[in-house]
């Protein structure tokens, strides 16, 4: 009787190491790989596996001493001889690196056999665990595909199985496969590959974009829409356009044009609402006050004023220097100040004060038909509580006011009183009361400032009335319980 005994010896184990010169801590790399240790028989991957191998009895027979330990010249790579002397089939150094959101796990595999070239395996993934699964699958005999894909959001499938999202190295079973990339808004693409165990294929996908869409809602429905200044649509609905940035503009008769910039992605549908504003009726706009014209109730103003004092009865002086009348008109000018209140339609200038002077000498009639002169004519005009109305339209604010003026007038009467040509002078000051009125227009610059142009006439029915012209600026404010022309 004969017996055939076949002795199957286990393959020498492979030692795993985790160097510290990597982005991930050695303990983290080992922890990512540890759940996969069962797929790698005869590998000393985990600490427990390494401890068990060290505790096991030495194999019988013991490994032969490498020849290079006897003759170093016969051993070009002593580190491999050391692995063989320890009874190890090889060594794997595992290092992990992270770039942006992608993890890469690299295995540098060195066999103890001098004739076997070193090998590097690489696995990638969005997480360290995913990278570990991919590289171990390749090491365990599966094939791999290294995928490069645009857009980065594309999903990668092997048949019906989702491998992952975006570029990466994915483990796949050996055999014929349909590798497919898909992304929303892009046409899918498929590549057929046939791989054997350990093979690796590089696949590049650049998916063509399909159209993007805008769903237009128009008010009014008759609006016409242009896309990047070219005709696009004339009604509500869903419309296709190329992905990317665009300028949409809606126009309709009687409405303000409406523009909107959009950036639409391939396959995306944007909801665009053009709710257009009717064009303002200019006649209606200018038929009502601008809010600035009614913003504040109180004002102070200042103006340059020029006045023309008419010739007329004077009745000042005594004796031969009594001037009964002036025979010429006089031009005077100066500064005009005022403070007041403006309501919506009514206004009151509480106090106006003007100083006027600078007149040239002008003629006066003296007794005995003598010719005289009036010199240094000055007037201080006080206008208390002039009441009026205003009619603001947009920023234009016409107004009219009436009131009584108290005019303090000072002048010098000069005349020739003897045959020698000697001149005498008499300085006179008197008070005049005048009824007057003013017509003007303000231009409201903003809610605080206004410009003013006006004309006034004082001295209705009186001797020597004055007609004046003013141009100036005003400043409005709220105080004392007044706001917007209404007491609070």
Determine if the peptide bond prior to 220 is cis (ω within 30°): yes
Model pLDDT for residues 367-421, shown as the tens digit of each residue: 888 888 999 999 999 999 999 999 998 899 999 999 999 999 999 998 866 655 5
Contact, 312 vs 361, CB < 8 A? no
Neighbours of 421 (CB within 10 A): 7
Looking at the DSSP bridge assignments, the partners of residue 242 are: none
User: What is the predicted pLDDT for the residue at 6?
Assistant: 29
**Helix ranges, 218-317 (H):** 282-285
* DSSP letter assigned to residue 21: S
Question: How many Cα atoms are found within 13 Å in the side-chain-facing hemisphere of 252?
Answer: 18
- Domain(s) labelled CATH 2.40.160.20 in the chain stretch across 291-487
Q: Which of 112, 91, 2 is nearest to 44 (CA)?
A: 91
pLDDT at residue 87 in the model: 77
Peptide bond into 323 cis (omega under 30): no
CA-based nearest residue to 478, from 294, 297, 346, 292: 297
Give the pLDDT score at 349.
Answer: 95
Residues contacting 369, CB < 8 A, separation 6+ = none
Fold of 212-275: Immunoglobulin-like (2.60.40)
Helix spans in 286-440 (H): none
Look at residue 468 and give its three-state secondary structure.
Answer: strand
Give pLDDT < 70 ranges for the chain. 1-11, 58-78, 113-116, 142, 198, 234, 280-285, 416-422, 480-488
Sign of CA dihedral 235, 241, 243, 248: negative
* Predicted pLDDT of residue 284: 65
C-alpha span between 364 and 370 (Å, rounded)? 9
- Please enumerate in sequence order all residues whose Cβ is within 8 A of that of 310, keeping only pairs 6 or more positions apart, or say none: 329, 459, 464, 465, 466, 467
Q: Does the bond joining 192 to the residue before it have cis omega, within 30 degrees of 0?
A: no
Cβ 377 vs Cβ 341: under 8 Å: no
Sign of CA dihedral 72, 73, 79, 80: negative
Q: Provide the pLDDT for residue 11.
A: 58
**Residue 54 Rama label (left phi>0; alpha psi -120 to 50; beta):** alpha
CATH number of 291-487: 2.40.160.20
* Distance separating alpha carbons of residues 35 and 202, to the nearest angstrom: 28
Residue 443, number of CB atoms within 10 A of its CB: 14
Q: For residues 152, 155, 159 and 163, what is the CA-based torsion angle, rounded to 10 degrees?
A: 90
Q: By C-alpha distance, which of 318, 309, 332 is closest to 463? A: 309
Please report, in angstroms and rounded to a whole number, the separation of the first and last CA atoms in the chain.
Answer: 127
Q: Is the separation of the CB atoms in 385 and 348 below 8 Å?
A: yes
Q: Where in the chain is the domain with CATH 2.60.40.1120?
A: 212-275
């Amino acid at each position: 009787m004969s017996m055939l005994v076949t002795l199957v010896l286990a393959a020498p184990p492979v030692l795993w190491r985790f160097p510290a010169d990597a982005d991930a801590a050695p303990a983290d790399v080992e922890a990512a790989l540890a759940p996969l240790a069962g797929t790698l028989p005869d590998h000393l991957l985990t600490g427990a596996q390494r401890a068990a191998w060290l505790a096991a009895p030495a194999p019988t027979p013991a490994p032969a001493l490498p020849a290079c330990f006897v003759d170093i010249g016969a051993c070009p790579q002593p580190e491999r001889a050391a692995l063989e002397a320890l009874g190890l089939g090889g060594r794997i150094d595992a290092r992990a690196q992270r770039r942006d959101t992608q993890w890469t796990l690299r295995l540098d595999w060195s066999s103890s056999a001098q004739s076997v070239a070193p090998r590097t395996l690489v696995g990638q993934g969005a997480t360290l665990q995913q990278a570990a699964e991919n590289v171990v699958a390749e090491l365990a005999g599966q094939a791999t595909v290294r995928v490069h894909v645009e857009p980065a959001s594309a999903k990668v499938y092997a048949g019906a199985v989702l491998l992952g999202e975006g570029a990466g190295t994915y483990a796949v079973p050996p055999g014929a496969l349909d590798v497919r990339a898909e992304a929303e808004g892009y046409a899918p693409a498929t590549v057929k590959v046939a791989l054997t165990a350990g093979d690796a294929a590089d696949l590049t996908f650049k998916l063509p974009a399909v159209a993007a869409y805008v769903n237009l809602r128009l008010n009014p429905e008759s609006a016409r829409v242009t896309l990047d200044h070219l005709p696009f649509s004339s009604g509500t609905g869903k419309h296709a356009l190329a992905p990317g940035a665009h300028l949409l503009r809606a126009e309709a008769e009687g409405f303000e044009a409406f523009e909107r910039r959009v950036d639409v992605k391939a396959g995306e549908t944007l909801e665009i609402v053009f709710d257009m504003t009717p064009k303002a009726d200019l006649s209606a706009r200018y038929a009502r006050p601008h809010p600035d014209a009614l913003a504040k109730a109180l004002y102070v103003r200042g103006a340059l004023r020029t006045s023309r004092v008419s010739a007329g009865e004077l009745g000042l002086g005594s004796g031969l220097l009594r001037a009964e009348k002036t025979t010429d008109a006089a031009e005077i000018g100066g500064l005009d100040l005022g403070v007041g209140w403006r309501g919506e339609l009514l206004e009151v200038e509480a106090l106006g004060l003007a100083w006027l002077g600078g007149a040239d000498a002008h003629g006066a009639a003296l007794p005995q038909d003598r010719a005289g002169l009036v010199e240094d004519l000055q007037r201080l005009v006080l206008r208390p509580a002039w009441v009026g109305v205003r009619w603001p339209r947009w920023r234009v604010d016409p107004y009219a006011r009436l009131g009584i003026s108290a005019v303090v007038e000072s002048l010098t009467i000069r005349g020739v009183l003897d045959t020698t040509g000697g001149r005498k002078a008499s300085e006179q000051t008197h008070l005049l009361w005048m009824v007057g009125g003013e017509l003007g227009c303000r231009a409201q610059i903003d809610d605080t400032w206004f410009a003013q142009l006006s004309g006034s006439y004082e001295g209705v029915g009186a001797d020597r009335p004055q007609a004046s012209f003013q141009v100036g600026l005003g400043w409005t404010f709220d105080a004392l319980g007044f706001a917007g022309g209404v007491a609070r």
